[in-house]
Chain A
């Protein structure tokens, strides 16, 4: 598992610098961006951690960036930092699926605890994503016949029924089934069912 990073996007230089100081003091890895565009330019799939986003920014606002990231399929949790009177905006952001928001001026403890939660969420999301993609990869390795057999097995069919349906011998069904269990890295039927359910 790679180390998590806190991505800070704020147009105010002092804010960026002081956040870096604070968060690095807490032992986090921090990356700062002066604008939404700068962040979008540096963004990649493997980014892991959370995003601390100022709502009010010239050019692209925090909300707009959130929308953009949504369409790009980003899984980074977002903590919005708002100023006075931006409360309705923050509510809108939360409704759109932001992780959290914090109002300036904030207490450091609040910020840190929210960051911790966000990172937790982030790592969970990342782990789930990794697992899902592994299972998907394994399914990809199955042959056409094995996949058909697996789908029927998961659907709760008996070997006999499978053999009849696919018009193959019982022995062949058993062989395919053994291969499926092996390739999917599961030992019991229950495990197989769970793995397949996760990805579908």
Chain B
């Protein structure tokens, strides 16, 4: 780090790229080839040396062999000469036993390979033995086996013979050199020298010779007769054969050189070379492997390095490294972009840094001190810093220690995020949430969200809390809302058995009465996926008590209207029946007139007249039917008169009229004396009259200024039989001409009216033996008055 900090040009350790390794070629094969060639050359040289050595050994062998052959030959010739001399003397009777003894004993003494020299008869019986102390043979001994065969063979061919080997008395291998003796043409016996070939070789060949060569005597059939070979290995390549010049027995002597340095000696150099080559190759391979691993590691390192470099430069997070004293040692591109300062302007700088706004110095100094002390909070510092152009912005700075490869801390790494936008978004979100809460809390409807399984209330608005308690959140919704909850069997689906695929779905939509307060709620319940993914029930309960009340009132009014509509229909029917009656009446008139005319003129047929009269009668019946229909209808709506308090009637009528009055902001003033006697009327009919008059009054004040829209309803005890009721408005009033016409059926001053309302009202009042009339109000407007009978007192 310090090195990097020294020069701004010199990229710090993060950014120095290692040199790239040269491209691999077939060059790596060269050492292997060299090793191979070297090994081969060494092998050839070794082989050449071996070959030369063998050559030398071979020529030495040949020399030795010739020497040995001559030596042995000379010895054997000496033996043969000695025996042939004895033979000649015996043939010519010049040899005595004593001279034989002397000469032979001397000879035997001089030639240790000869054990004894004997004279045997033709029959094979030993007759002379010299030296006489010899133990291998004794006088009078009969020769047997191969010895006898060899003797007889020699006698037969009359030439010297060398017997096959046999075991002598001391069980040593021995051979007989037999020289037959003839005298004249007859055989008289033979001289035989008992000779040991082994002794012969030992005596003739020096020890140095036997130490170097393995000697083997073989017969004509190449059968081994005698061998002095030790266990030392022999080299059959360095060998030769010499023949022992013996009469009548072709024995040869195989000479094989002992291998110098053991059997493996010739292979040792080659083996050494091979082993060395092997070791060299293995080492080379290991080296190469190592090199490759190293190259791979380097490659990985380079890739990781490039990756880190790219990462640090492409990050939108600003990175800044400082040493333990706070000096900036590294900044990435993002950091430069964010602050607007170049790398060279920042690296090497100690606090206060150039991007610190002057007004924040104190706070930022505290922050950096805290961070250098290693006490930076995990959530980082939120701070306001300054771009080069002076623009301020909010960032969040996270500190983490910078540890060198040796495990020692060398500084602090800080990552910096521009949180201006997130901060703005967060503020927006908070405001949005505030708005949401305000709206939800502002609702009249009680809204709450409960977990579908555990029924824990997760959210409840103020309206809900004011109805069900302010500690509702977190509690069991079934308990909290027990007084106003859709029964489980009323739910469309079982909320506990819902799968996420079903969501959102309706659970309940209906009206429920709160068991405690008696209020009516319109409860709408749905199952939805909550913000954290679980299934919840959202319930919206709107207080509909008022609306329900209005609905009920409307319903009652509707019922009453239906009852009274019959009366209205009656008026309409009367009119239409009048039309209908015209038909039969006109027809009757026609028939009658026709008859009269015919009878006057006297020109008629009686049958025709009868038929016409009959038809006239039928038409009269038709008219009667029409009349009956009308009467039936009137009968159905027979009024039901009962004593009733007028105030009560007015109250009920007013309940209906209130809606209209509120809509038009009309004030209803009611003034009924308390001691007013009960009236005897059909309450529905009189209510209808009142309602009609009130509505008329309200409508009449349509153009009156709002503050003057007052409708007064008064009642007074007129006399002992009746009560007068007054309905006075402050509307447009009434033209003089209209005053009587308004009670005529089908007369109307209103665009939508049927023109029979007041006519019916008058009919109703008259039906009650009362009167309905109208007069203009003094200060403008109209006053309707009617009288109804009161309950007759018993006294």
Q: Which A residues lie at the B interface, using CB under 8 A?
A: 12, 14-15, 17-19, 21-22, 24-26, 83-85, 104-108
Least distance between A12 CB and chain B CB atoms (Å): 5
Q: Are A19 and B582 in contact (CB under 8 A)?
A: no
The answer to whether A18 touches B579, judged by C-beta atoms less than 8 angstroms apart, is: no
Asked whether any CB of chain A lies closer than 8 Å to the CB of B556, the reply is no
Q: B619 near A: Cβ within 8 Å? A: yes
A-B pairs with beta carbons under 8 A, tally? 66
Cβ contacts under 8 Å, B622 to chain A: 14
Contacting residue for A22 out of B585, B591, B618, B746, CB 8 A: B591
A21 touching B594 in the complex, CB below 8 Å, given contacts A83-B579, A84-B579: yes
Q: Which residues of B contact A19 (CB under 8 A)?
A: 590
Q: A53 to nearest B CB, angstroms?
A: 14
CB–CB B594/A106 < 8 A: no
Are A22 and B590 in contact, CB atoms less than 8 angstroms apart? Answer: yes
Nearest first, the 8 A-B pairs at minimum CB distance are A18-B590, A108-B593, A21-B594, A25-B594, A18-B587, A14-B587, A22-B594, A25-B597
Q: When the two chains form their complex, are residues B582 and A18 in contact, meaning their CB atoms are under 8 A apart?
A: no
Judge whether B71 is part of the interface by a CB distance below 8 angstroms: no
Question: 22 pairs across A/B with beta carbons < 8 Å?
Answer: A14-B587, A14-B615, A14-B618, A14-B622, A15-B586, A17-B615, A18-B591, A18-B594, A18-B619, A19-B590, A21-B594, A22-B590, A22-B593, A83-B579, A84-B578, A85-B579, A104-B583, A104-B585, A105-B589, A108-B589, A108-B590, A108-B593
What residues of chain B have their CB less than 8 Å away from a CB belonging to chain A? 575, 578-579, 582-591, 593-595, 597-598, 612, 615-616, 618-619, 622, 746
CA separation between A21 and B585, bound complex, in Å? 15
Known pairs A18-B619, A83-B579, A84-B579; list 15 more (Cβ under 8 Å): A15-B583, A15-B587, A15-B590, A18-B594, A21-B594, A21-B615, A22-B593, A24-B594, A25-B595, A25-B597, A84-B582, A85-B579, A104-B583, A105-B582, A106-B589
Return chain A residues, CB-CB under 8 Å to B582: 83-84, 104-105
Q: Is the CB of B615 within 8 A of A18?
A: yes
How many angstroms from the CA of A89 to the CA of B348 in the assembled complex?
110
Chain A: minimal CB distance from B122 (Å): 188
Contacting residues, chain A, for B591 (C-beta < 8 A): 18, 21-22
From residue A169, how far is it (CB to closest CB) to chain B in Å?
69
Q: A83 contacts which chain B residues (CB < 8 A)?
A: 579, 582
How far apart sit A19 and B589, CA to CA, in the bound complex (Å)?
10
- Given known pairs A21-B594, A22-B591, the reply for A105 and B586 (CB within 8 Å) is yes
Give the complex CA separation of A14 and B589 in angstroms: 11
In the complex, what distance in Å separates the CA atom of A18 from the CA atom of B612? 8
Q: How far is the CA of A29 from the CA of B377 in the complex (A)?
A: 122
**Distance in Å: Cβ of B747 to nearest Cβ of chain A:** 12
Inter-chain contact B578/A22, CB cutoff 8 Å = no
Q: Is the CB of B612 within 8 A of A21?
A: yes
Nearest residue, chain B, Cβ from A112: B593
Bound: A76/B81 CA distance, A:
203
B590: nearest chain-A partner, CB-CB: A18
A84 to B612, CA, bound (A): 26
A65 to B214, CA, bound (A): 167
Q: Which residue of B has the minimal Cβ distance to A106? A: B586
The reply to whether A17 and B587 contact each other, CB–CB distance below 8 Å, is: yes
* Max chain B C-beta neighbours (<10 A), residue from A15, A19, A25, A105: A25
A21 to B578, CA, bound (A): 24
Q: Chain A residue with minimal CB distance to B618?
A: A14
> What residue of chain B has the Cβ atom nearest to residue A15's Cβ?
B587
Return B41 CB to nearest CB of chain A, in Å: 136
C-alpha gap A12/B442 in the complex (Å): 69
CB distance from B575 to the nearest CB of A (A): 8
Q: How far is the CA of A25 from the CA of B619 in the complex (A)?
A: 19
In whole angstroms, how far apart are the Cα atoms of A19 and B618 in the complex? 15
What's the least CB distance linking B580 to chain A, in Å? 9
Which one, A26, A105, A106, A107, contacts B597 given CB within 8 A?
Answer: A26
Residue ID in chain B nearest A103 by CB atoms: B582
Q: How far is the CA of A120 from the CA of B587 in the complex (A)?
A: 26
Q: Which partner residue on chain A sits nearest B615 by CB separation? A: A17
A122: shortest Cβ distance to chain B, in Å? 22
Interface contact B584-A14, CB-CB below 8 Å:
yes
B residues within 8 A CB of A14?
Answer: 583-584, 587, 615, 618-619, 622
Query: Nearest B residue to A10 by beta-carbon distance?
Result: B583
Note all chain A residues with C-beta closer than 8 A to B579.
83-85
CA A19 to CA B586, docked complex, whole Å: 9
Q: Looking at B579, B586, B615, which has the most chain A CB atoms within 10 Å of its CB?
A: B586
A33 to chain B minimum Cβ distance, whole angstroms, is 17
Question: Nearest CB to that of A16 among chain B residues?
Answer: B587
A residues less than 8 Å from B612 (CB atoms): 18, 21
In angstroms, Cα B608 to Cα A17, docked, is 12
Question: With the chains together, A14 CA to B594 CA distance in Å?
Answer: 14
Contact at A105–B619, with CB atoms within 8 Å?
A: no
Contacts of A107 in B (CB 8 A): 589
Chain B residue, CB-CB nearest to A104: B582
Query: From residue B339, how far is it (CB to closest CB) to chain A in Å?
Result: 93
Q: Which chain A positions have C-beta within 8 A of B593?
A: 22, 25, 108
Contacts of B590 in A (CB 8 A): 15, 18-19, 21-22, 108
Q: How far is the CA of A179 from the CA of B616 in the complex (A)?
A: 65
Q: With A and B bound together, what is the CA distance between A15 and B595 in angstroms?
A: 15
* B603 → A minimal CB distance (Å): 9
A-side contacts of B575, CB under 8 Å: 85
Interchain CA distance A22-B618 in the complex, whole Å: 16
> How far does the alpha carbon of A108 sit from the alpha carbon of B597 in the complex, in Å?
11
**Would you give the shortest CB distance from A10 to chain B, in whole angstroms?**
9
Residue of A nearest to B604 (CB): A25
Closest Cβ of chain A to B545, distance in Å, is 50
Closest to B599 in A: A25
A83 to B580, CA, bound (A): 9
Q: Which residues from chain B contact A26 at a C-beta distance below 8 Å?
A: 597
A15 / chain B contacts, CB cutoff of 8 Å: 583, 586-587, 590
Partner of A18, one of B578, B586, B746: B586
Q: How far is the CA of A25 from the CA of B615 in the complex (A)?
A: 15
Residues on the A chain within 8 Å of B594, using CB: 18, 21-22, 24-25
Determine the chain B residues whose CB is within 8 A of the CB of A24 once the complex forms: 594
Contacts of B746 in A (CB 8 A): 85
Task: Report chain B residues within 8 Å CB of A22.
Answer: 590-591, 593-594, 597
**CB of A101 to closest CB in B, whole Å:** 14
Give the one of A17, A18, A24, A85 with max B CB within 10 A.
A18
User: How far is A22 from B593 in the complex, measured between Cα atoms in Å?
Assistant: 6
- Which residues on B sit within 8 Å (CB–CB) of A84? 578-579, 582
CA distance A125 to B575 in the complex (A): 40
**What chain B residues lie within 8 Å of A18 (beta carbons)?**
586-591, 594, 612, 615-616, 619
